[in-house]
Structure 1
């Protein structure tokens, strides 16, 4: 099997590419390098450019006519940036995805795995979400993912292409072999802030302690990026058995979620120096959170997460130490 990975020089896409290669799947990468890194594609056939670039996509398929499927990871993903620039986000994530699908149809590619987001859901009262939960995206970024899924469903209803959408929340960790990881030195998510507190020997700001969760702190669905990557591989390998026509969404998650307090406890279980917490009031916009049920992934893909949150933290810490050796700037 050979796959084209759009966005394959980014954090998720490059890890998916490594997992594919490890599974014996040939990989071709298309990435604009707006956020992706050239270092992550040094050993793979690589095309620098945009998914909306018709001549470039045509050239890729002309030079690799044996491409069996596409993994679509190309997107802008920073929520605050999407609030500040919704036009740019809808253009990059929706309009260009529409162009991309048109290019795939023209080149006879009938299988696409779409790297989507569980941020499109509204949480159930028990804070879980299934594939049947109501959609209630709360940011322009999340809405672009929901719009794309709806667009793909409409297209697959009448055109010769099928789309599997994989929905997930919060990836953490790095390739266990340290080939790839987060590009940013200072990621803004909770784990990034814990690593920052660890490195600077300062307390971690725990904002919000009165949420309706098991310990009062917000809850999130942290999933190891390698588990995400292997789920994409399983989706490729089982594509035809899972989806005969149309489109289908599959959740990827832990099934239990992790509170911020539990994340800090897991961090301190693997760090050589513990990080203390300072409890603060909720910030404007802070929400209780949610996590996914992944029964469908287990049933259809034979997939379940193998790495614990503590392993994700350990690999994130290891990556933080080697990042500047892997990435030159």
Structure 2
């Protein structure tokens, strides 16, 4: 692993046809970078965009007099390969894989840099977020279970506390040697979350930090991977916690508890996506069945894959859930601790 000692943090942004969002993203970074610009590098990997991404980058370089390391692919190599490529180009001690559409808080570096310089040599820094739609309306706090502003924990306590929340890429910074260590743990059935598995397994034996206050605004424009979202979450995430259980006993049971009890709407909302595109998901039926936490959910999955009335009900549930959240923008249950 090549490291440039002058860089404490590498902000690596994989992008594709998001020039408008990317510009706003980079403006939020560059406008507050003056005090730490010598220890931060910014890398943008353009996956052969057909919009004006390149010109937007050049304009920002000129405006802020900061050298953004822009790399344009000659052809689209896919999201996973683009993430791998940009992470390999990073040279800093810490790696921040940042989504091209998200926006950092105006005091991001003021808060984060001292933790990166912490004598505990933290492996992972995860922070809370606000989530909204593409135009930043109806923003809400992701984690409202306050138990202190910031806490340094060993990796076991940390993952029980945050569970899958760092699967939102823009909310987690990882020490780059830990990220590299995690490569050897990657498996094919970690669908869509190979980078997340690197963070999980790379943190084993290390100290991690959770920061409760939101430091990033998560926007939700259309996403190219949304077609596979149910596969990523139901199989990929489950497989990671299944294997992580070897190092953190009980974490897989906690994952099941989370899906069935404290995040009931989320679990069945994602499961209902299978009903909407059952013909596509039938090819993954055995893996989806294995990921189901109990007999009841296996029966539900079988029905929505093979019975048309169940698919109609599942699709209706999904639409009703979306309408409910748009109208009320909150859940009517209290999330419980997984400890």
What is the TM-score normalised by the length of structure 1? Answer: 0.28
Structure that is richer in helix per residue: 2
Q: Which has the higher contact order (CA 8 A, sep 6+)?
A: 1
What is the TM-score normalised by the length of structure 2? Answer: 0.28
